[in-house]
Structure 1
Amino acid sequence: MKRKLFVEWLSCTAASIAAFTVATGAPFLSPFVVFIAPFPLMVLTRKLGARAGALGALFGTAFVFGMAGAAYAFVYACGFGALGAAEGFLLSKFKSGSDYILCAVAASIASKLILMYAFVSTSGVNPFALSHDAAQSLISSFSSLLSQGGVSLSQDDVGSYADTLIRTVSMMMPSMLILFSAADALLCYAAARLYFKKTPEVKLPQLPPFALWRFPQNIFWALLATLVLDVAAKAFPQEAVLKTLSLNLMEVLRALFLAEGLSLFWYFLRSFGVSRAVRVVLMLLCIFFSPVSYILSMLGIFDIWYDLRKRIKIRRR
């Protein structure tokens, strides 16, 4: 029995180290791996307990330190080890899925802030910031695509757009951290649900089905605060903090309203008997096609206020 537990501990720890290796060494896979970075140690902690998770995080940190040095070891400790162990511990402490997600998002934000503070303090470089070279490369790549369609950008235009992109990313950093943290918390939770699906003795916090997701109406107080901040930012343009607060709060609220609209859309698609595969494809199109995502955000606002699922009766199939 002890040998089986040791093998489980070692395999989860090795998977965590492998995920870190891919995230830091494979640029094309890195954005996808980072979102599920805490998952291996999250599973380890939920299965074997907080002590096993902490030992896995310490061993992984020591291994990365020996292979790549202190900077990489610190990144692993915050973003992969400690965060995974913390989320696994939270999985065992909550019965409500919404409470768990809120705490997991807070833990993820904390890990990213610690990383940011440490790197800015020691090197003066923000690891989450967009460099001028990266921004210019991104704009240049986009410009080459446009040129194939007969639209060309001058070098001055590329530099100007790069500067604008850097300012926008810097200003929107708080909302980006929140949304990225929410994404990795939800994805790790979904992966854990799938992993433990055939292990009924492991109880996980429960979220309602996606088709029934609804946010409370007191979210409109946050919307009102955002509108007040927006008016204040226009009245006092010299106060940059007002504009930053209003933009970031609006971005987070827009994501919540979009989630509500997607949930409503999923509900009606399911009610009409649309297959799951088609629903997933339509959801992805709705998320990445701006006009549709805007409409779904508006529907999300109406749904929070009026509960359209109850008002529009559809016979389920």
Structure 2
Amino acid sequence: MRRTISTVEGAFFAALTVILYLGSIYIPVFGLILSFLCPLPVMFLVIRWNLKVGFLAAVVATLIILAFAGLYQAIICFVGFSFLGIFMGVLVKRGYGWVEIIGLGALVSLLSKLALVGLTLLLMGKNPILESLNIMEQAFGQAYSMLGNLGEGLGENSVETLMQIVKMTIPAILILAALFDTFLNFILGSWVGKRIGVRFPPFPAFSEWRLPPSMVWMYFLSWLLLFLGGSSFVYQIGLNLQLVTQILFMVQGVAVLNFFLRKIIAQRVVRAIIIIFVVMQPVFSTVLTWLGVFDTWFDFRKLLKKK
């Protein structure tokens, strides 16, 4: 009986994976949201049953996508999404905490992205990262030409400088993307899990988020590498390290801001509007970053609770 139930659930979740992935390919805009849901079905199969059931469902889903969308899309589904779901499911089933699940999951997500780049080069002879950068550069060029006189203040050199920075920070962008999709899958998995009786490790409220003190030294190290690197490889390391740590500290700064806003504003929508406005302003976002840095040392929220 138990084997029959696992087979039925495996078939259902495999079909769900196919629907989500094909939807992410063919549905514009909304498909991007569906792509983040693709690892969830096999993740729940591994948690509810075991690794074998989850893996077999992922293979079946990959074969169906192979029939409908071709080899390349099938590889993306398995390597880019199903493998992450299987790995995170194993970690949740074995009782790991949320830090280990997100950290190790982000590492697997990053490796899967690099593997996809390698497989794309092998199968199609194209580098998807360079292709994306070329499209981005063309878009910037078209926008600049459409602006005409309005874009003269920007200058072509500004566009070239921006593209050069983007090219140098590709490693940081990949790391942040891996952290984001792993974190999002964990949050969505926790939310769905509560409704279907699957337990995930407890996760702190957003207002309580706090990075370890070692991250502060990594942030200062990035500044040192930028100062000493000039235009060398050391400078590029510092630039990527700074982008990753700066984004993380800005998120912590937002958590601190949200903690204090909760004391004076009850409506979540109003708090969200204020936070979005602050983040979108370059000066304020810089202040948030340094607020996150100093909060790592002084823990402003703990000081307020003591008072």
Give me the TM-score of the superposition, normalised by structure 2: 0.88
> Between the two proteins, what is the percent identity of the paired residues?
26
2:134 maps to 132
Task: Assess if the C-alpha contact under 8 Å between 1:98 and 1:207 holds in 2.
Answer: no
Q: For 1:161 and 1:132, how far apart are their aligned partners in 2?
A: 16
The alpha carbon displacement at 1:30 in A equals 4.0
Consecutive unaligned residues of structure 2, counting only runs of 5 or more, are none
Aligned pair count? 305
The two structures, once aligned, show a CA RMSD in angstroms of 2.7
* 1:120 alignment partner AA: L
Pairing of 1:1-317 with structure 2 (within 5 A): 4-129=5-130, 130-141=132-143, 144=146, 146=147, 151-152=150-151, 163-200=160-197, 202-234=198-230, 237=231, 239=232, 241-313=233-305
Equivalents in 1 of 2:172, 2:264: separation in Å? 35
Deviation at 1:161, TM superposition (A): 5.6
| Matched-pair contact (CA < 8 Å) for 2:222–2:238 | yes
Note closer, same or farther for the CA distance 1:276–1:49 as it changes in structure 2 (3 Å cut): farther
Aligned partner letter, 2:185: C
Which one-letter code corresponds to 2:183 in the other structure? L
- In structure 2, distance between residues paired with 1:250 and 1:216: 16
Q: For residues 199-251 of structure 1, what are the alpha-carbon distances to aligned partners after superposition, in whole Å with 9 as ceiling and x for unaligned?
A: 45x321222111111112121221232122112212xx3x2x11210110000
Alignment partners' CA distance in 1, 2:190 and 2:160: 42
How far apart, in 2, do the equivalents of 1:282 and 1:109 lie? 32
More helix by share: 2
CA deviation digits over 1:11-46, x for unaligned, max 9? 322222222213222342344333333222222322
Moved more, 277-286 or 77-86: 277-286
Give the C-alpha shift of residue 311 in structure 1: 2.3
Closer, same or farther: CA 76–269 of 1 in aligned 2, 3 Å: same
Conservation of the 8 A alpha-carbon contact between 2:106 and 2:182 = yes
Counterpart code for 2:134: H
Q: Secondary structure at the match of 2:179?
A: helix
Superposed displacement of residue 141, structure 1: 4.1
Shift of 1:187: 0.9
SS at match of 1:196: helix
Change (3 A) 1:21 1:165: farther
| Distance in 2 of aligned mates of 1:26 and 1:199 | 27
Deviations 1:50-80 (A, max 9, x none): 1111011101111111222221211111112
Deviation at 1:268, TM superposition (A): 1.1
1:127-159 deviation line (CA, Å, top 9, x unaligned): 233242442124424764x56xx71459x956x
